[in-house]
A and B are shown apart, each in its own frame.
Chain A
Amino acid sequence: MTARSCPELSTLINYVTGAVAEPDAIALDNHIQVCADCVNSLSQIDSAHDPVVRAIHAAVENSCGNDPLFDAAEIIAKLKSASPTRGIAGPWTAEFGTLPFAIGDRLGHYLLTGVLGRGGMGVVYEAEDEQLGRRVALKVIRREFANDLRFRSRFLQEARAIAGLMHDHLVPLHHIGEFHGSLFLVMPRLVGSTLADYLVQKGKLPEQPAIQIGAQIASGLAAAHAVGLVHVT
């Protein structure tokens, strides 16, 4: 390498603070490895002024002697086997949430056709209502909750309150039931995309729709609140 191909000072500053992009960095590595002039220039740069380098200095000093892994190795191994791949019976079911029912099982006249999601309360399946011939969302409550008498009475009480709500901006409850000791809820299977997806795609809502949607959400929540239900999440 000749002095003529040496990078500019600004590039060297980025180099020594790790702020160069990878394709350029490889060429720079090759140059720095052999260039005495650049090394002299680098030794004049105080990289500790860079906020990222400063933070890393501090972190290495502060955590010296601590193992940031703690003793989480076992939990990490479990969680890795439970990657949240969407779809039917994916790795989801591997370690934690063994599905309470398999795809293809029938709960009364509901045929389970897929898994839509999993939450703290239980698993939401996609199902076919074979009597009415429509697609529904069916939520099976975790067994540990379903077995608890206090939870059951509270659950029934809340389900009745929800069932009494007729509101354009609330998802209605079709049915609650029990199958071999598991409580479940049946709701419409909604189609279309979520507001969150829309926002990701379009960036933001124009003013009028934003006001309209905000008002609809608020009116739905108010209706639920009026019968004593609080949406805690």
Chain B
Amino acid sequence: MDTPASLIARLRNEHDHDAWNVFVDLYAPMLLRWCRRRGLSDQDAADCIQDILTLLVGRMREFEYDPNRSFRGWLKTVATNRLHDFFTRRQRIIDAEALASSSLETDNEVDVFDEQEYRDYVIGRALQMIETDFDDKTCDIFRELMLHHQSAEEVAEQFGVSRNAVYLAKSRVLRRLRERLDRLIDWPTER
């Protein structure tokens, strides 16, 4: 179980290898999907993803002290530039002048950097990752609460626990999620 500090704060410390691992765990699947869709081999994608994440980590301090910046926007910019560099160089090599522009055009498929898409992915992946820190019952209770909008009473009955235990599970998992996702997501504004 890692220390209770936000991932962003921990990534500033270059000796915190665990923070790097969490960062990779959280973002690599999404970026891999994005790179593959643009025709990169897994080896090239791995190179690209490493460059993207490394650059972000290197500039994390700047980001942390600028409360107006959106991580999603920053990630998208860095990733797009990196991919553009890749195609620009590849273009010189394989003599396919149009490759860069055509490959960067968005297709009909899901845009991983779309606000809703990004939020759903990052929350889903973070939840999947933090679940190893909790026992199975806590995780199941939490998912049940989130998935079906059930009352604590109904969930308590379903799992044979007290309502107290349901609120406890809900609060604990939400706390971990908030801490993990601090500043990585722009939460929707209150209605």
Contact = CB atoms under 8 A, between A and B. Distances in A.
Interface in A187-233: 196, 199-200, 203, 232-233
A23 B121 CA distance: 29
B149 A48 contact: yes
A39 interface: yes
Contact of B46 (A54, A75, A84): A75
A37 B75 CA distance: 46
Contacts of A82: 50
Given A39-B164, A75-B32, A96 B46 contact: yes
A32 B167 contact: yes
Interface stretch (A11-19, A101-109, A169-177): A11-19
A76 B49 CA distance: 10
B171 A69 contact: no
Nearest to B85: A120
Contacts of A39: 152, 162-164, 167
A151 B143 CA distance: 53
Contacts of A16: 167, 170-171
Contacts, number: 191
A96 B24 CA distance: 15
Given A18-B177, A42-B152, A34 B24 contact: no
B28 A76 contact: yes
B92 A72 contact: no
A232 B174 contact: no
A84 B20 contact: yes
Interface stretch (A57-65, A129-137, A178-186): A57-65
B contact patch SS: helix
Contacts of B51: 119-120
A151 B90 CA distance: 9
A80 interface: yes
B190 A63 contact: no
A159 interface: no
B43 to A, nearest CB: 9
A68 B54 CA distance: 22
A84 B57 contact: yes
A203 B65 contact: yes
B103 interface: no
Interface in A8-63: 15-20, 22, 25, 28-29, 32-36, 39, 42-43, 47-49, 51-63
B85 A59 contact: no
Interface string B53-72: 11001110110010000000
A4 interface: no
Given A32-B164, A42-B167, A196 B62 contact: yes
Given A33-B165, A148-B92, A17 B174 contact: yes
Contacts of A66: 124
A49 B82 CA distance: 39
B146 A57 contact: yes
Contacts of A43: 151-153, 163
A69 B124 CA distance: 9
A85 B14 contact: yes
Contacts of A33: 164-165, 168
Given A59-B119, A78-B46, A145-B89, A22 B28 contact: no
A18 B165 contact: no
6 contacts: A18-B175, A19-B178, A33-B168, A47-B170, A59-B121, A83-B20
